Amino acid sequence: MPPMRLDFLSALTRPQLRSWGWLLGCWLATWAELCLMTSEMNYFGPYWSPVAVLGAGVLLCACALGFWLDKPLVSLAAENTIRRIPVAGLLLLLGDVRVLYIQAPIIARLPIDLRYSDVITILQTYVARFRSGEVVYRYLTNLDYPLFPNHLPLQWLPYVPADTLGIDYRWWSMGLLLLLGFGAYQLLLARQPFTWLEFGLKAVLPALLIVQLVSSNRDLYSLTCEPTIICYYCLLATSVLTRSAPLQGVALVLCLLSRYSVLFWVPFYLWVLWREMGRRHAIAVAGITAAGIIGIYVVPFLSKDWTIFTHALSEYRIATLGEWSRGDATQGPVHLYSGVGMAAWFHTYAGGELADKIALLQRTHVVLSVGVVGLAAWLYYRLRHRLNYQIAALLALKLYLTVFYTFLQIPYLYLTSLGLFISLFVVMTVGFRRAEPAGTVRA
- 384-398, pLDDT tens digit by residue? 888 889 999 999 999
Residue 5 has pLDDT above 70, yes or no: no
Identify the weakest region by mean pLDDT among 24-38, 133-147, 216-230, 333-347: 133-147
pLDDT band of residue 6 (cuts 50, 70, 90) is very low
* pLDDT of res. 328: 61
Radius of gyration over every alpha carbon of the chain, rounded to an integer in angstroms: 23
> Please, what is the average pLDDT of the chain?
88
pLDDT band of residue 113 (cuts 50, 70, 90) is confident
* pLDDT of res. 116: 72
pLDDT, one tens digit per residue, over 136-192 is 998 888 777 778 888 899 999 999 999 999 999 999 999 999 999 999 999 999 888
pLDDT band of residue 79 (cuts 50, 70, 90) is very low
Percent of the chain predicted with pLDDT > 90: 66
pLDDT, one tens digit per residue, over 272-304 is 999 999 999 999 999 999 999 999 999 999 998
* pLDDT of res. 81: 64
3-state secondary structure of 140: strand
Residue 120 has pLDDT above 70, yes or no: yes
pLDDT, one tens digit per residue, over 351-379 is 999 999 999 999 999 999 999 999 999 99
Q: Which residue type occupies 140?
A: L
Query: % helix / strand / coil in the chain, to the nearest 5?
Result: 70, 0, 30
What is the model's pTM? Answer: 0.92
pLDDT band of residue 80 (cuts 50, 70, 90) is low
pLDDT band of residue 326 (cuts 50, 70, 90) is confident
Q: How many helices (H) and strands (E) does the chain have?
A: 20, 0
| Average pLDDT for 196-215 | 92
Angle at 313 between CA 307 and CA 317, to 5 degrees: 140
Residue 65 has pLDDT above 90, yes or no: yes
pLDDT, one tens digit per residue, over 215-238 is 998 888 988 899 999 999 999 999
State the DSSP H helix or E strand holding residue 319, giving kind and residue range, or none if neither: helix 308-324
More confident residue, 81 or 75: 81
Residue 196 has pLDDT above 50, yes or no: yes
| The three-state (H, E, C) secondary structure of 346-387, written as one string | HHHHCCCCHHHHHHHHHHHHHHHHHHHHHHHHHHHHHHCCCC
- Contacts of 81-84 with CB under 8 Å at 24 or more apart are 81/190, 81/191, 81/192, 81/193, 81/442, 84/190, 84/191, 84/196, 84/199
| Average pLDDT for 80-85 | 73
| Average pLDDT for 204-212 | 94
Of 362, 300, 277, 40, residue with least CA distance to 157: 300
* pLDDT of res. 72: 47
* pLDDT of res. 114: 67
